Amino acid sequence: MSKRMVLLGNEAIARGIVEAGCEVAVAYPGTPSSEILPAVAKYADELGTRTAVEWGVNEKVAFEVAAAASFAGKRSCAIMKQVGVNVAADALMSVAYFDLAGGFVLVAADDPGPHSSQTEQDSRSFAQFAKIPCFDPSSAVEAKHMVFDAFDLSEQYHIPVMLRPAGRVNHCREDVELGAVRPGDHPAKFVKDVRRWVCLPAHVRLTHPQLNAKNDAIRQDFESRFGAYNYELAAKKPAKLGIVAGGVSFAIVQDLLASWGREDVAVLKIGTPVPLPEKMVMDFISRHDNVLILEETYPVIENQLPDRTKVKGRHNGFVPRAGELLPEVIEELVLRALGEPGVPGASPELKAALEELQIKPKPPMLCPGCPHRASFFAIRKAVPSGIYPSDIGCYTLGVNQRMVDSVICMGASVTQPSGFYLAHRVDGKEQPLVSTIGDSTFFHMGIPGLVNAVYNRHAFVLAILDNSITAMTGGQPNPNVGTKLRKGDVGARVDIEGAVRGCGVGHVEVVEAYDMASGEKAVKAAWEYAKAHQSPAVVIFRHPCMLLRCEQEKIRVRVDEERCVGCKFCINFFNCPALVFDEGKNKAVVDDRFCVQCGTCIPVCPHGAIVRVSEEA
Amino acid sequence: MKYIVAGIGGQGILFATKVLGHIALGKGLPVIGSEVHGMSQRGGSVISHFKIGDYQSPLIASGDADIFLAFDQSEALRNYHFLREGGQAVINVEHPAELAHPRLQDYFRQRRITLHALDGLGLIREHLGGKFLFLNVLILGALCGAGVGNFSRDEMRQAVGELAPARFREENLKGFDLGYGALAK
C-alpha cells in the first residue's frame, strides 16, 4: 500500500524516521534542518506511533536526551543544523565511544553557500573527528532510504550514525514513496553496566580500541555491502575522465552528463564518505588517468585517500575551497578537467543592462511590523554611544539599523559585553554596552553567560527581544511558549523574567516593544542600574512576532511630502521594507505592498513627516 | 521542463512551485526542485528551482531554464541569465520603462527570449483590494493565459483551488483568473 507524494527533503527524512520505528526524536531548529521535527510529529500523528517528539532547548540538550533514550534501548534521533553539532560536540565525542543499545541517528544538516549560517563547515569532518560513520544523501529519496540503514547500522555496531544532508537535499522537493512503520519492538530496558555507560578514563582505555575496531569493520561493510549508495556509473566509451562525487554534486554531475549525452566520463558515487571505502575509490582512481573529486564543502573523501597524485580536487586548488558547488561551477570544473573549452559565461548585454540599471540583490530585512525594529530604535535613543553585541536570530538583521556590532554564535550576546566591559575596565574607562538576544536563544545558551556576568560583576544591559517564538527558522515553540509538537502533548511555560531573576539579576523590566518611549526609558534606567551596581541589568522587550499574525490595531501611515527633507534617517535607522526612498522626488514613501499598518514608524522621523492617515480621509 | 521562480521573501513563491508539483504528480510525472528557507525568506531575494521529468539534481544551471516566472522586476533582471536560448518569461512589471532598456532588449533578441509582462500589483490594487499575497496565483494564471508551460488553465485552476487554505480559496481563484485574463489572447 505505497503512496507517492511531493515532499520536501526534510519531510522525506522525517517520514523515514517515523517509518524506521524511531521512538524518541529531539531537535533544535536551525536552517536547513528546521522542518524535519515538525514533520516527524505530523507523520507520527498520522501513523499513530508512540514517538516522543520534542524541541530541546539547545542541540547539546537534544543530543543527550536522544542518546540516553538509546541507552535505554529505544531507537532515537537528534536533529540539528551543522553549527548545532558544535554545541552538541561535547556529548557527541563521548557518546561515540559508547556501546549503544537502541539505534541512534544524528541528523546534521549542512549549509554550503552558506544561505543561512555563520560557517560553511562540513559535518562529515565531525563524523570523522568523532569516529562515527556518516551517510551523505544525494536526494530526498535516498535520504529517506539512508535513515533506515543508519538505524540498522547503528544497532548492528552499537554506534551513533550520522546522516549528513546538505541544504539542497533538505530543501529539495521531490516525489517520494510513503511506506508503513517497519515492524520491530524496542522495549525500554536500561541494563546497568558502568563500563558501558560511565565514561571514566579507565573505561575509555577499553572503549577507544573497541571504537577503532568498529570503524574498521564498518569500512569493510561500506566496501562491500552498501552498493545502493556506493556505485560506479561506467563510461560506455573509453573514459577521458573519472569523477568521484558525493551528495548533491553527484546528482548535478548526472544531470550534466545526461544533458550533454556524454559517454566518455565515468562516475563513482560515494554515499558513505566516513569511513571511506578506500579500496573502492583507489581502484576507481587506478583505472583512470584523470580524476576529479566533487564533494561539499571540505575535502573529506579526498583527505582519506592514501595517494592523491592523479586527483584534481581541493588539495591542488582545482576545486574552489569555499562556496557552493552550483551546477554552473561543476560544469566549468568538468570541462576544465577534460581540457575542453568552457561554456560561454553570462551574456555581456545582460551584464551591462544590470550594471546600467543598478540592479543589486535584495538583502534580507526584518519584516514590516517586526517588534525588533522598534526595540533597536529605542535602544539607540537610550544609549547612542553604546557598543551593541548581538546574537543569532532574526534580530541579527538589526545590522541594517547599525544596531548590531558583533555576533559570534548562539548565546554570545551575553558573554561579549563581559569581554567589552573588562577590556574597558582595565583601562579605567566606562563604556555603555547594550546586547540583544531573542527568547529562544536566551534559553538556548544565554543563561550561563548571564550567571557569569552576575558572579563576576559586569556592567551592561541585556535586552531580551521576546517575540514569543523561534522566528527565523519558521516559528517553532520554545520554553517561553510552552507548547509541544504532537497532538495532545502538553508542555509547561518557563517564564523568562523568573529565569533572569533566578540567575541573580537584580534589575529586570518588561516593556511593550512597540512603545518606543517606554523602551528608551527602561534601557536608560537599566544602564544607570548596571553602572551603579556593577552588575548586568535586563530589559525584556515583548511583542509577538508578526508571522504569528496576532490581531493588533491598524494604523495607516503616509509620508508628508512637505515635511520630509530627504535626510534618509528613517531608511538608515529604522529600515522597514515598507519605507522606501524615492530618489527622483528625494522623499521617503510608504510602500503599500509591504506596509502592515503597525504605526511604529510615526515617532521615528525627526521632522515629523511620518503621519497617521486619519480615518475619515 | 525546467522552471525558475524568483521574487522576494514573503511573496508566496513556495506556494507557486507547490501547485506545479501537485499537478505534475497527479499526471504521474517525476518532479524535483529546490527552495530557499531561513534568513533569505525575510524580505530578501528568493529563488526556487523546479524540474519536471527525469532529473537527479534539484538545481538548474544558468542558461538552462525553459520557463522563468518573476514576481518582482528587479529579481527578474537578476535572474534572466537562468533562461536558455528561446526560453519564455512571465514577469510582474512595475516600471515598464526599465524593460525598454536597449541592452536588455538586445539580450532578449539575441537569445530569442519571449517576454510576457503584466502589471500584477496594479491588477491586485484594482480588483483584489490590494491583497498582494495573491500575486503568486495571479502569476500562475498569467502563465496559463500566455499559453506557456505544459499545464492547462483547468488543471492549474483546480490545483490552486485544492491547495489553497479553505478561507482564502475564493480569493486565490479570483487572483488566478485575473492573471489569466491579463495575458490570454
* A123-138 pLDDT tens trace: 999 999 999 999 999 9
Per-residue pLDDT band for A2 (boundaries 50, 70, 90) equals: low
Nearest CA to A101 out of A73, A121, A124, A75 is that of A73
pLDDT for residue A616: 45
Per-residue pLDDT band for A403 (boundaries 50, 70, 90) equals: very high
pLDDT digits (tens, 9 = 90+) for B94-112: 889 889 999 999 999 999 9
* The domain defined by B2-183 carries CATH number 3.40.920.10: yes
Residues A334, A243 contacting (CB under 8 angstroms): yes
Q: Looking at beta carbons, which residues of chain A come within 8 Å of B32?
A: 139, 172-175
Instruction: Please name every residue paired with A464 in a beta bridge, in sequence order, or none if there are none.
Output: A437, A540
pLDDT digits (tens, 9 = 90+) for A165-199: 999 999 999 999 999 999 888 999 999 999 999 99
pLDDT digits (tens, 9 = 90+) for B61-73: 999 999 999 999 9
Per-residue pLDDT band for A114 (boundaries 50, 70, 90) equals: very high
pLDDT for residue A282: 98
Task: Say if the Cβ atoms of B55 and A255 lie within 8 Å.
Answer: yes
**Residue % of chain A over a pLDDT of 70:** 99
Per-residue pLDDT band for A607 (boundaries 50, 70, 90) equals: very high
Instruction: For strands B45-52 and B31-34, give the pairing.
Output: antiparallel
Range A520-524 average pLDDT: 98
Highest mean pLDDT among A283-292, A471-480, A584-593, B31-40: A283-292
pLDDT for residue B68: 97
Range A431-445 average pLDDT: 97
Per-residue pLDDT at B5 exceeds 90: yes
Range B27-54 average pLDDT: 85
CA of residue A499 relative to chain centroid, distance? 26
Per-residue pLDDT band for A582 (boundaries 50, 70, 90) equals: very high
Range A553-580 average pLDDT: 95
Task: Say if the Cβ atoms of B107 and A35 lie within 8 Å.
Answer: no
Task: Say if the Cβ atoms of B42 and A346 lie within 8 Å.
Answer: no
What are the residue ranges spanned by the domains of chain B?
Answer: 2-183
pLDDT digits (tens, 9 = 90+) for A342-367: 877 778 888 888 888 888 887 889 99
| Chain B interface test: which of A139, A168, A233, A354 (most B C-beta within 10 Å) | A354
Nearest CA to B125 out of B94, B89, B146 is that of B94
pLDDT for residue A68: 98
pLDDT for residue A617: 47
Q: B164: distance to nearest CA of chain A, Å?
A: 16
Instruction: For strands A557-559 and A537-542, give the pairing.
Output: unpaired
Cis peptide before A137 (omega within 30 of 0): no
Question: From start to end of A9-73, where are the E strands?
Answer: 24-27, 52-55
ipTM over 0.95: no
Mean pLDDT of chain B: 92
In this structure, the number of other CB atoms found within 10 A of the CB of residue A493 comes to 12
Range A292-316 average pLDDT: 97
Mean pLDDT of chain A: 95
Q: A427: distance to nearest CA of chain B, Å?
A: 39
Range A253-263 average pLDDT: 95
Size of interface A-B (CB pairs under 8 A): 164
**CA B170 vs CA A495, B166, B173: distances in Å:** 42, 8, 5
